[in-house]
Amino acid sequence: MRRVCIAVAFLAVVALGTSFAFSQRGDDHRGQGVLSVLSKGQAVSVKDAGGRYEIGILPNVETLGYKVVDVGADFVVVEDIAQVTQLRIPIYSIKAVSILKVGRTDN
């Protein structure tokens, strides 16, 4: 019985240590994923497409339907330009993030 208690205590310490180690990871994963192209204060358009959202970005345009208020690893918060409504959109409700490239750059 004593060995069982020691084994359970040891496993609990390992699980707690692993959990703590993963929670202390920095923002080294920032800049990856679908939402990495969004930034706070950016003007975007939001379309409801069959229960999921399409977020559109037009570079160098300041007034679209919404403005990005906050971006996390698994969510985005946008606010309409009248500052009346905020949408908190989880990552699983986002169908696409599209960037419209206007003009042509020859590189």
Q: Does residue 26 lie within any of the structural domains?
A: yes
Domain housing 60: 1-102
pLDDT at 24 over 90: no
Q: Does residue 9 lie within any of the structural domains?
A: yes
Q: What is the number of structural domains in the chain?
A: 1
pLDDT of residue 71: 92
Q: Does residue 33 lie within any of the structural domains?
A: yes
pLDDT at 18 over 80: no
Q: Does residue 107 lie within any of the structural domains?
A: no
Indicate the pTM of the whole model: 0.63
pLDDT at 63 over 80: no
Closest C-alpha among 46, 61, 48, 57 to residue 100: 57
| CA 52/CA 101 separation, integer angstroms | 23
Give pLDDT tens digits for 66-96.
999 999 888 999 999 888 999 999 999 999 9
Mean predicted confidence (pLDDT) in 3-29: 75
CA distances (Å), origin 91, targets 33, 49, 61, 75, 97: 10, 14, 24, 5, 11
Give pLDDT tens digits for 32-46.
678 888 989 888 999
